[in-house]
Amino acid sequence: MPIVRIDIKKRSDPTFAQRVGKVVYESLKSAINVPDRDNFQILGEHDDNHFVYDPTYLGIERTDDLVIIQITLNEGRSTEQKKLLYKTIADRLNEVLAVRPQDVFISLVEVRKENWSFGNGVAQYAL
């Protein structure tokens, strides 16, 4: 049920965004039990003029290696589950791709189940 948007500054490695996506999907599965095959992602790479961030907001030192992740998912997860998801993504991106935890920005957007249509003009999760 989640749809994930990942935005990064354009890099020389054309596979980097896809590899970030794989780490995020595996983290979603392990931290909040997203099922197999429930993987929908939009991967964006941007030039300097189209990737804007504050390098020190909230006292966190960010670099141009910043990875911005927005996850839209069903509402209802606990604060503890969300914290586990944030930590899992940041830790795994650091382990697998050497992304500094300070360069991992995550935003969750929670929606009700009836706000999804996975195709055919049908609200598959509507009760």
- Give the number of C-alpha atoms closer than 13 A to the C-alpha of residue 104, restricted to the C-beta side: 20
Strand ranges in 15-95 using DSSP code E only, listed in sequence order: 40-46, 67-74
Catalytic site positions: 2
Torsion region of 113: left, alpha or beta (phi above 0 gives left; psi -120 to 50 gives alpha): alpha
120's tokens? 């055919």
Which of 34, 48, 57, 44 has the alpha carbon at shortest distance from 105?
57
